[in-house]
Amino acid sequence: MNGGYLTIMNRIIYVDNAATTPLSKSVLDAMMPFFTERYGNASSLYSVGREAKRHLELARESAAQCLGAQPSEFFFTSGGSESDNWAILGTAHSMAAQGKKHIITSRFEHHAVLHTCEELEKEGFSVTYLDVHEDGILRPKELEDAIRPDTALVTVMYANNEIGTIQPIAEIGKICKEHGVIFHTDAVQAAGALPIDVKEQNIDLLSLSAHKFHGPKGVGGLYVRRGLNLSNLIYGGAQERGRRAGTENVAGAVGLAAALKETRDGMEERNARLTQMRDRLIDGLLNIERSRLNGDRNRRLPGNVNLCFEDVEGESLLLMLDAKGICASSGSACTAGSVDPSHVLLALGLTREMARGSLRITLSEQNTQEDVDEILAVLPPIVERLRTLSPPIIVCP
């Protein structure tokens, strides 16, 4: 990407890019005028407001183009969680009027999807939770077999936020189209990392969040295929063509569009480099005794490495890595502080004990071969020390 990144820390190896990414300097430059000179409210009729509105619509056009969509099909939101909630609740409530109150999803979705589905169950909807198997890949045939006459929506994430496995999105989209079922995909981890074409892949609804691809926090997007009747989630003013109330975040929208275009333009070369570093890490870390890779080896995001180490507690592992200047995670940042093992790893069939020893390393183009060398040098002795200091982990059911 152009322009480099902003950083406030020296000698830190940051490998938690699935949680968030540093803001691109060129994206910040694109955003800055909308905090100062072009600060107008995009819904105002005078010249300052019209200028803000013009740039809001240019950002919408650019973001939509990156997804193979039309500008009228792209809506700006506050982030991935809002987009997921709007897609699922808006579809469910609209389709309920047609007697369709069945939803299909997978067991290892982000909690923004799972908790929304749980709320719908309280309203009388039924939800089928599909298995993702040991490799972290959903089987399209099992999804097709789960479709019923009253199925309103299929919601399956594009790429998992913890283990990075990429789902057969185009095949799922084809199945849903053939059965007349609306298909939503949470593409928060995939946008900016993988090529996306919503028309070719038969995607009806798609969620994304700018801070996952070097854009700003607090802004996301929802693609809504033209013709879909989606009830509103937020009521108030007439912004976003009457579909989402609230003063438009023009600076955020400009940042999202700029970041999405940057990542798309350099994607092929960047992904080749990330895949090479990823595979070096996987090969090296699997040399540690009693370790295992979580998810399919190849059908995963270019920068995602997720392993478990037997008889190691993940939190202790992260603290010792942090003491060495390495920022990693044990799973989703949205569940930090939870005492329960990852629902994603349990969905793969791991025991609770094994799941507690997980480590997620997620790379970006900012990382170097020297970072990989340092991780491979530091991590094995940390695992060995933790196993020496602690007895085997026993978790009560």
Residue 348 belongs to what H/E stretch? Answer: none
* Dihedrals phi, psi of 188, to nearest 5 degrees: -60, -40
Q: In terms of DSSP bridges, do strands 220-224 and 205-209 run parallel, antiparallel, or are they unpaired?
A: antiparallel
Residue 161, number of CB atoms within 10 A of its CB:
28
Amino acid identity of 128?
Answer: T
Rounded CA-CA distance 132/138 in Å is 4
Active centre residues (catalytic)? 334
Angle at 371 between CA 296 and CA 255, to 5 degrees: 80
Other Cβ atoms within 10 Å of 93 Cβ, number: 18
- Tokens 């071969």 found at: 369
Q: How far is it, in rounded angstroms, from Cα 234 to Cα 303?
A: 35
Q: Is 146 exposed, middle or buried (0-12, 13-18, 19+ CB in 10 A)?
A: middle
Q: What angle do CA 7, 189, 333 make, to 5 degrees?
A: 65
Phi, psi dihedrals of residue 106, rounded to the nearest 5° = -115, 165
- Written as six digits, the tokens of 356 are 């507690």
- CA atoms of 324 and 375, how far apart (whole Å): 9
Q: How far apart are the first and last CA of the chain?
A: 47
Q: Are 109 and 186 in contact (CB under 8 A)?
A: yes
Alpha-carbon span 316 to 44, nearest angstrom: 53
Are the C-beta atoms of residues 205 and 228 closer than 8 Å to each other? yes
